[in-house]
């Protein structure tokens, strides 16, 4: 079954065992798989959690705090710890999640989705307490950009979560304002790629220091 996992998922399974050893857990559960993902610190799952503004350090601390109350101090640091039935189920479910998204390889986002779909586990409980749920992760995992070029602009924006527009150098002000109004009327956020890139690189707030009114709006986000 290992060839159905990405290399990163295979690494995370190894990390999860090491996390279980470190925390003196009697078995490797879904919470240890999540700790393995957090320890790895990269991959699609971490990217999605970051986009959802999840406090990863807080999630890690909350899981560890719960696990420490169940720790078995009699376990040796290198003890062979079995995979729990719940964790085994998660690893099977993540393959199904991958297939549902037309992927032959289960990656970290599929493991995260499986944890949240199952729900009845410590990892899901902590994630949901931090405002992360299956629907939000699925939306991020399946988000696909649709590129439109030229003078055309879709009349129906309902399929889109957001419009990221170009600088409009080939358009006049009236056309740009018309497109902004179309998006506003349909309840679809619209911005330009300069602002989007600045936000993704974490420099948007710093770049608006000379614009106090804009700064106040950003600080509310």
Q: Could you list the pLDDT tens digit for every one of the 221 residues in the chain?
A: 468 999 999 999 999 999 999 999 999 999 999 999 999 999 999 999 999 999 999 999 999 999 999 988 888 878 889 999 999 999 999 999 999 988 899 999 999 999 999 889 999 999 999 999 999 999 889 876 777 776 678 888 887 778 888 877 888 888 889 989 999 999 988 988 888 887 777 787 777 777 787 777 767 65
State the pTM of this model: 0.68
SS3 category, 215: helix
Give the list of residues 6+ apart from residue 107 with CB closer than 8 angstroms, or none. Answer: 5, 6, 8, 9, 43, 44, 45, 98
Distances (CA, A) of 81 to 16, 111, 122, 152, 220: 10, 20, 18, 59, 45
Residue 142 CA to residue 96 CA, distance in Å, equals 15
Map out the domains of the chain with their CATH numbers. 2-141 (1.10.1780.10), 163-219 (3.40.50.11410)
Q: What is the model's pLDDT at position 210?
A: 79
CA 29 to chain centre: 20
Q: What is the model's pLDDT at position 172?
A: 86
Cβ neighbour number for residue 45 with a 10 Å cutoff: 26
Q: What is the model's pLDDT at position 220?
A: 66
């Amino acid at each position: 079954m290992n060839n159905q996992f990405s290399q990163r998922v295979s690494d995370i399974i190894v990390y999860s065992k090491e996390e279980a050893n470190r925390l003196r857990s009697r078995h490797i559960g879904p919470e240890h798989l999540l700790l393995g993902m957090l320890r790895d610190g990269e991959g699609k799952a971490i990217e999605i959690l970051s986009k959802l503004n999840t406090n990863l350090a807080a999630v890690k601390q909350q899981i560890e705090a719960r696990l420490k109350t169940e720790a078995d101090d009699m376990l040796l640091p290198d003890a062979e710890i079995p995979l729990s039935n719940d964790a085994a189920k998660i690893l099977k479910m993540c393959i199904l999640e991958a297939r549902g998204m037309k992927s032959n390889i289960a990656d970290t986002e599929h493991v995260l989705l499986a944890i949240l779909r199952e729900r009845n586990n410590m990892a899901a409980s902590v994630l949901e307490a931090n405002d992360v749920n299956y629907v939000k992760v699925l939306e991020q995992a399946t988000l696909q950009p649709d590129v439109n070029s030229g003078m055309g602009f879709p009349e129906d924006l309902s399929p889109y979560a957001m419009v990221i527009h170009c600088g409009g150098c080939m358009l006049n002000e009236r056309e740009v304002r018309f497109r902004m109004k179309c998006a506003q009327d349909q309840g679809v956020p619209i911005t330009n790629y300069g602002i989007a890139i600045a936000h993704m690189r974490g420099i948007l707030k710093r770049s608006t220091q000379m614009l106090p009114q804009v700064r106040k709006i950003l600080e509310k986000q």
